[in-house]
Amino acid sequence: MLEIKCPYCGKRSQNEFSYGGDASVKRPKLEAEISDKEWNDFVYFRKNVRGKHQELWHHVAGCRQWFKVLRSTYTHEIYKTSKIEEEL
């Protein structure tokens, strides 16, 4: 069981959360000229790191806020969590 510290509610069990994927992926800026490759990279391609991974989680059965988690994909250890607008 993962225990995830929601930046708003504190430590809660994994059951209350849902996963949102790699948080380091940046959506291309809408006003800019965007190539097919940039869209493709954004939608499908991932670094898929083994080790410290920045990811999005959603406290779906709690405060319903999205936030960021720094977690090891190898040991499942959670190092840090932060609000979505903060740097991890």
Partner 1 sequence: MQKYSIFSLIKNAFTNHQNWEVAWKDPQPKKEYDVVIVGGGGHGLATAYYLAKEHKITNIAILEKGWIGGGNVGRNTTILRSNYMWDANGLFYEYGMKLWENLSQELNYNVMYSPRGIINLAHSDAQLNVYARRGNSMRLNGIDAVMLSRDEIKKMIPFADFSFTARFPIFGGLMQPRGGTARHDAVAWGYARQADSMGVDIIQHCEVTGFEVKNGKVQGVQTSKGNIKTKKIGLCVAGSTSLLAEKLNMKLPIESHVLQACVSEPVKPFLDHVVTFGAGHFYCSQSDKGEMVMGGDLDGYNSYAQRGNLPTLQHVLSEGVAMFPNLSRLKMLRTWGGIMDMSMDGSPIIDKTHIEGLYLNCGWCYGGFKATPVSGWTFAYTIAQDRPHELNEKFKLNRFSTGHLIDEKGVGTKTWIG
Question: How many CA atoms does the CB half-sphere of 18 hold within 13 Å?
Answer: 8
With binding defined as CB under 8 A, does residue 64 bind partner 1?
no
**φ, ψ (nearest 5 deg) of residue 31:** -80, -15
Q: DSSP state, 15?
A: G
Give the footprint of partner 1 on residues 13-32 (CB under 8 A): 13-15, 18-19, 21-22
CB closer to partner 1, 72 vs 82:
72
Which of 57, 47, 55, 58 minimizes the C-alpha distance to 72?
55
With binding defined as CB under 8 A, does residue 79 bind partner 1?
no
Q: List interacting residues with partner 1 (CB under 8 A).
A: 1-2, 13-15, 18-19, 21-22, 36-37, 40-41, 43-50, 53, 55, 71, 73-76
